[in-house]
Structure 1
Amino acid sequence: MSGWRLTLKASPALRVDLRGVTPGALANLSVTEVERLTVGYGNAWVPLAEFFKLEPHDSDGLVFDGDLSRFDRVGWQLAGGRIHVDGNVGHYAGGCMSAGELIVNGRAGLLAACEMAGGTFTVQGDVDDFAASTLPGSMDGMRGGTFVVKGNAGARFGDRMRRGSAIVHGDAGDFLASRVVAGTIAVGGRPGAHAGWGMRRGSVVFASGQAAWDAPATFVPALAAAEVFWQLLARDLARHGGPFAALGNRRIERHLGDLAVDGRGEMIIAF
Structure 2
Amino acid sequence: MSGWRLVLKAAPALRVDLRGITPAALRGLAAAQVERLPVGYGNARLELGEFFRLAPGTEDGTLTFEGDLSRFDRVGCGLDGGRMLVEGGVGHHAGEGMRAGQLRVQGDAGLLAACEMAGGTFTVQGNVGDFAAGALPGSMDGMRGGTFVVRGSAGARFADRMRRGSAIVHGDAGDFLASRLVAGTVAVGGRVGAHAGFGMRRGSIVLAAGAGAAEIPATFVPALGAADVFWQLLARDLARHGGVFASLPGRTIQRHLGDLAADGRGELIVPGQP
Corresponding position: 1:246 with 2:247: yes
Cα deviation, residue 116, structure 1: 0.2
Mean Cα deviation higher: 206-215 or 108-117: 206-215
Tell me the residue number matched to 2:33: 33
Paired with 2:94 and 2:176, the residues of 1 have a C-alpha distance of 21
Does residue 133 in structure 1 map to residue 117 in structure 2? Answer: no
**2:175 alignment partner in structure 1:** 174
Q: Find the residue that maps to 2:231 and give its secondary structure.
A: helix
User: Structure 2 matches for 1:31-110, cutoff 5 A?
Assistant: 31-59=31-59, 60-110=61-111
Shift of 1:55: 1.8
Counterpart contact for 1:87–1:104, Cα < 8 Å: yes
Report the residue type matching 1:254 in the other structure. Answer: R
Contact 2:90–2:107 (CA under 8 A) maintained in structure 1: yes
> What stretches of structure 1 of length at least 5 have no aligned partner?
none
CA contact (8 A) 2:194 2:215 kept: no
Q: Which runs of 5+ in 2 are unaligned?
A: none
**Tell me, what secondary structure is at the counterpart of 1:232?**
helix
Q: What RMSD over aligned residues (CA atoms) do the two structures have, in Å?
A: 0.6
Q: CA shift at 1:2, angstroms?
A: 3.6
How many residue pairs end up in the alignment? Answer: 271
2: CA distance, partners of 1:42 / 1:216: 43
Q: Distance in 1 between matches of 2:41 and 2:268?
A: 43
**Paired residues of 2:152 and 2:171 also in contact (CA < 8 A):** yes
Output the TM-score relative to the length of structure 1. 0.99
Could you tell me which amino acid in structure 2 is paired with residue 52 of structure 1?
F
Q: Deviations over 1:46-89 (max 9, x none)?
A: 01011000122133120000000000000000000000000000
Alignment partners' CA distance in 2, 1:144 and 1:94: 12
| Other-structure match for 2:159 | 158
Q: Sequence identity, in percent?
A: 74
How far apart are residue 153 of structure 1 and its match?
A: 0.2
Whichever residue aligns with residue 216 of structure 2, its letter is A
Mapped to 2, the partners of 1:88 and 1:121 lie a distance apart of: 14
Q: Deviation string for 1:7-49 (max 9, x for gaps)? A: 0000000000000100000000000000111100001100101
Which whole-Å deviations, capped at 9, do the CAs of 1:191-229 have from their partners, x for residues lacking one? 101110000000000010111122222100000001110
3-state SS in 1 of match to 2:139? coil
Distance, in Å, in 2 between the alignment partners of 1:25 and 1:129 is: 29
Q: C-alpha separation between the residues in 2 aligned to 1:216 and 1:110?
A: 26
Specify the alignment match of 1:197 in structure 2.
198
Q: Is the 8 A contact 2:196 2:217 kept in 1?
A: no
**Aligned-partner SS, 1:135:** coil
- Matching residue of 1:211: 212
**Letter matched to residue 170 of structure 1:** G
* Alpha-carbon distance in structure 2 between the residues aligned to 1:83 and 1:216: 39
CA deviation profile, 1:97-120 (whole Å, cap 9, x unmatched): 000000000000000000000000
Q: Secondary structure at the match of 2:123?
A: strand
Contact 1:2 1:27 in 2 (8 A): no
The residue type paired with residue 90 of structure 1 is: G
Secondary structure, aligned partner of 2:83: strand
2-structure distance, mates of 1:119, 1:216: 32
Partner of residue 123, structure 2:
122
Task: For 2:57 and 2:158, locate their aligned partners in 1 and report how far apart those are by CA, in whole Å.
Answer: 35
Partner residue in 2 for 1:16: 16
